[in-house]
A and B are shown apart, each in its own frame.
Chain A
Amino acid sequence: MFKQVRGLFSNDLSIDLGTANTLIYVRNKGIVLDEPSVVAIRKDGNKISPKSILAVGEAAKKMLGRTPGHITAIRPLKDGVIADFTVTEKMLQYFIRNAHGSTFFKPSPRVLVCVPCGSTQVERRAIRESAAGAGARTVHLIEEPMAAAIGAGMPVSDPRGSMVVDIGGGTTEVAVISLNGIVYSESIRIGGDRFDDAIINYVRRNYGSLIGDSTAEKIKKDIGCAYPANEVNELVVRGRNLAEGIPRSFTLNSNEILEALQEPLSGIIDAVKNALEKTPPELGSDVAEQGLVLTGGGAKLKDLDRLLMEECGVPVIIAEDPLTCVARGGGKYLEMIDEFGLDILTID
């Protein structure tokens, strides 16, 4: 009952609960929150509440891999789904409050959460319940590629095949959409995190040095690329030499990173090719004519569109502001719910 009343003072939220980043889109306001999905937990001595939340988001991300014994910085989501239920709930609570700013009442918004299309019923239920536990009045779920396509401005309601490839932190979603529905979808557990892991493994193998997640991410952002470029970028990296046990610095160039990323990239290419293969011919020809749209943080990897263009033989375009596509699409979907009713796209 109070949730209903509090709902009057709350805005509708669309949450892109991603492995790497959580984005919140508020209707009529835009993206109000874009923070890493990281929570730092402190173990306290007292028995009543042995654990407390120390930091969430950006602050917690800085602690990743740099924490003393009594603090753990964790990412509660793995592969696009919840790995730690309670921590996710706390994180969502924090984000929802934060997205609302200071209000008179405790917010109880209507919430739309994007889930990977490959997620199981159990995983969806977990996400739904943690959002409800975080104070949501009602929770709607939408499949990520659908939200991404809406957010990218693709003509999802037309009788025309639109292909979207959403490369997130934990998963890559490939989907062909027509008439507000998903015709074909595939979710593979390759994403930004796998890129980082591939870089860490590569450095260990070839330089005998160990680097952390944050360093690997920095390397990926600075000199990572998916297609051989004319100019070669270099970056000086410091890591612990495994043989000597002391930190050493060495130089990595973009061609090495390209080599390191081959495995996850081929996984994504396979998924796209697979999707093109399994798409009904009529829609396939639409896709071949218009091209596929890349969204998500992975789309920012340099020359990934070129690689896909080369490999798949279809035009590849990168959506505008690819990181926020899913959250924005969710927001538009909430508006569509108000306009057309619930039955258009629901997956409940």
Chain B
Amino acid sequence: MTTDNEKNNEVKNELMETPGDILSKKREEVGLSIDDVAEKLNLQPLQIRSLEKNDYDSFNVETYLKGYLRSYAKFIGVDGDKVVNLYKQQNTEKIIEIIPDVKPKSQRSSPNSSTKLFSYVIGLVVVLALIVWYQKEQISEPYITGKEISNIKMKKINKNNVDTSYEIITHSNYWQWPIDKSVENYVDSIEKNNQPSQAELNEDENVNSLEQNSVAEEVENEASYNIQEGTDTIVMNLTGDCWTEIEDRDGNKVFYDLAREGRSYVINGKSPMSVFLGAADEVSILFNGSTVDIKPYIKFGLARFTLPE
């Protein structure tokens, strides 16, 4: 390394003057000895000699070396910056730190373009996600109206008070029993139930032969409100899975589930009941025993209508 430096310096000596040359020449012009300079600068004569010989190996910190060069130059009346710049040009491999410039505002480079791009991409993604989410919301709640919102509120109130048919009727055990016997029979019994009594309801339970134990208690509770005027029955027969929502007069969701293929469902509630079918082609409906033609309501496979018509 040392020899390399010396070689480099020798080569450069021939091409242009070195900091050491400038300094020693000027010093002799002014008529000062090395000792004079060393005394004034509080440095060792040896250090001055090294500076004049461009031998910088004894200076292990560059900051100090540049400082010495500058003070020396200034002392004998040479432009210090010129000497230091010359040194920097000739010893580029030694310079590690980069002194940044103070740039005026107009010249300042704009912020990192990749960072900018990144931020725009993120922004775009967020906007797209919002759009997709909004559209999804639209699809899942296609015809949300003010009335429905109020119904939802009402439902909550009812739930808190735990009094209405909603709590029990929506219990899956109640509506999901399969009707093994012919529906006609069942409908007959329902017709009798137009003015229902507790006894008859219990009979219903028997007829439909499901796990009585689990239902029994509920039925007792149910009796207190289910035997109310205007209780109507919907019977659904399914040839395929269909998402079904049925709300009664008070907005209680009496049925809110995926109705399974091949089963029949009996739903009791106060009319008028609003019905929403997700796959209306798969469903045939009996309302209080009479068949309902739902074809006119079907739109893109969905159907929304109120019973009685």
Seen from chain A, the residues whose Cβ lies within 8 Å of a Cβ on chain B are 9, 11, 25, 29-32, 34, 98, 100-105, 152-155, 288, 290-291, 293, 305-306, 309, 313-321, 324, 328
Contact = CB atoms under 8 A, between A and B. Distances in A.
Interface string B31-44: 00000000011110
A241 B68 CA distance: 45
Nearest to B99: A321
Nearest to B109: A29
B63 A315 contact: no
5 contacts: A32-B108, A104-B119, A153-B97, A154-B61, A328-B99
B71 interface: yes
Nearest to B98: A30
Nearest to A305: B71
Interface stretch (B17-25, B110-118, B179-187): B110-118
A328 B100 contact: yes
A231 B72 CA distance: 19
Contacts of B108: 32, 101
Nearest to B68: A317
A155 B61 contact: yes
Contacts of B43: 291, 315
Contacts of B99: 320-321, 328
Contacts of B14: none
A314 B42 contact: yes
Contacts of A105: 119
A323 to B, nearest CB: 8
B10 interface: no
A107 B99 CA distance: 25
A154 B41 CA distance: 19
B41 A315 contact: yes
Given A29-B100, A309-B41, A315-B71, 17 more contacts: A9-B119, A32-B108, A103-B116, A155-B61, A290-B61, A291-B43, A305-B71, A309-B40, A315-B67, A316-B42, A317-B63, A317-B64, A317-B68, A317-B70, A320-B63, A320-B84, A320-B99
A306 B72 CA distance: 11
B120 interface: yes
Contacts of A31: 100-103
B220 interface: no
Contact of B63 (A100, A154, A316): A154
A-B residue pairs, 9 tightest by C-beta:
A317-B67, A30-B100, A153-B63, A104-B119, A315-B42, A34-B102, A31-B102, A101-B111, A155-B61
A305 to B, nearest CB: 6
Contact of B67 (A104, A306, A319, A324): A319
Contact of A32 (B41, B98, B103): B103
Contacts of B105: 98
Given A152-B63, A154-B63, A324-B102, A104 B42 contact: no
A321 B101 CA distance: 9
Nearest to A316: B71
Among B66, B98, B99, B100, the most chain A Cβ lie within 10 Å of the Cβ of B100
Nearest to B59: A290
B137 to A, nearest CB: 25
Nearest to B105: A98
Interface string B53-76: 000000001111011101100110
B81 to A, nearest CB: 9
B83 to A, nearest CB: 13
A294 B102 CA distance: 20
Given A154-B61, A155-B61, A309-B41, A104 B100 contact: no
Contacts of A317: 63-64, 66-68, 70-71
B115 to A, nearest CB: 6
Contacts of B67: 291, 293, 315, 317-319
A288 B84 CA distance: 23
Contact of B120 (A25, A104, A290, A314): A104
B269 to A, nearest CB: 47
A291 B103 contact: no
B230 interface: no
A305 B64 CA distance: 14
B123 A104 contact: yes
Interface string B231-264: 0000000000000000000000000000000000
Contact of A319 (B63, B111, B123): B63
A101 B120 CA distance: 16
Contacts of B62: 153
A293 B119 contact: no
Nearest to A290: B64
A139 B160 CA distance: 51
B116 A104 contact: yes
Contacts of B111: 11, 100-103
A100 to B, nearest CB: 7
B69 to A, nearest CB: 9
Interface in B97-155: 97-103, 105, 108-111, 115-116, 119-120, 123
A315 B68 contact: yes
A313 B42 contact: yes
Nearest to B103: A32
Most buried by A among B63, B74, B120: B63
A292 to B, nearest CB: 10
